[in-house]
Amino acid sequence: MQWLYGSAEGAAESIQVYHAMVDYVRSAVADRPHDSVVLASDPGDGPAQFVPCGDKPFAAILDVDETAILNLGYEALLAEGRANRQNLIAYQTSGTDKAAPVPGALYAVKAMRQMGVKVIYSTNRDGIAAAGTAQTLDKLGFGPAVHGDTLFLRGDASSNPEKDGRRETLSQRYCVVAMAGDQMGDFADLFNAKGLNIKTRRSMAAHGWAAKMWGNGWFLLPNPTYGPGLRGTMDEVFPPDKRWTPESMGNTAGK
């Protein structure tokens, strides 16, 4: 929390990501890509296929929490040990202004809109929070956030309650030239498949077709505070064959 919400480094990294996103979108709009950046299907071990753009209007999809806004009000409550599910729902439905724009996000939204790109917010907040989320986004300068038009929540696409369902729906209407998020599910739900282990999940993101997407249509914001990236045992994070111990402590490996 200190790093994400308080540090100069956290602000600089977010701004850096959004500068890169704007530059990429500017190039995409000028050249009109053949394909969007939304996966057409799970590629498995094969090459990835993306939804074709055709002549559809341009759009960019942004996650909300810790991508567009920093939830200072609720996260402070969490840091104090006073957060719970009831308080989270109350915060999300309140339309509060006790939040702040992610550094660089307002610049990016304004710049993309000036290019004729429709900015659409997609969040895994429940539908009950639609009005409150729109109010918060509007208060912080991200509006207009209109449910069903520029704001989509969990369950808004009947085919799939997760974000893949919303991406599928939106990619049929728009040429989605860029997406920004702070979790892997903001780009493709396959990264959060049930039973996927730590090593495989990391490898999926760092190799093959997915590795080519980072900075090339997919833009990941830092979030070391919560989410599926914050898990793993000691052996999963630090493989035994990569451990090192000083000789003074009895290390004999690697000689």
Residues of the chain falling short of pLDDT 50: 254-255
The CATH number for 67's domain is 3.40.50.1000
With respect to residue 207, please indicate whether it lies within any of the assigned structural domains: yes
With respect to residue 255, please indicate whether it lies within any of the assigned structural domains: no
The number of domains in the chain is 1
| Amino acid identity, position 19 | H
Give 18-42 pLDDT, tens digit per residue: 999 999 999 999 999 999 999 999 8
pLDDT of residue 254: 47
Which residue range(s) make up the domain with 173?
2-40+49-249
Instruction: Write the DSSP string, 94-107.
Output: TT----EEPTTHHH
Which of 176, 195, 198 shows the shortest CA–CA distance to 187?
176
With respect to residue 110, please indicate whether it lies within any of the assigned structural domains: yes
Q: Cα 35 to chain center, whole Å?
A: 20
Residues with Cβ within 8 Å of residue 121, at least 6 apart in sequence? 61, 62, 63, 64, 68, 133, 137, 142, 145, 150, 151, 152
Kindly report the number of other CB atoms within 10 A of residue 65's CB atom.
Answer: 23
With respect to residue 26, please indicate whether it lies within any of the assigned structural domains: yes
With respect to residue 254, please indicate whether it lies within any of the assigned structural domains: no
Give 56-104 pLDDT, tens digit per residue: 999 999 999 999 999 999 999 999 999 999 999 999 999 999 999 999 9
With respect to residue 226, please indicate whether it lies within any of the assigned structural domains: yes
pLDDT of residue 162: 87
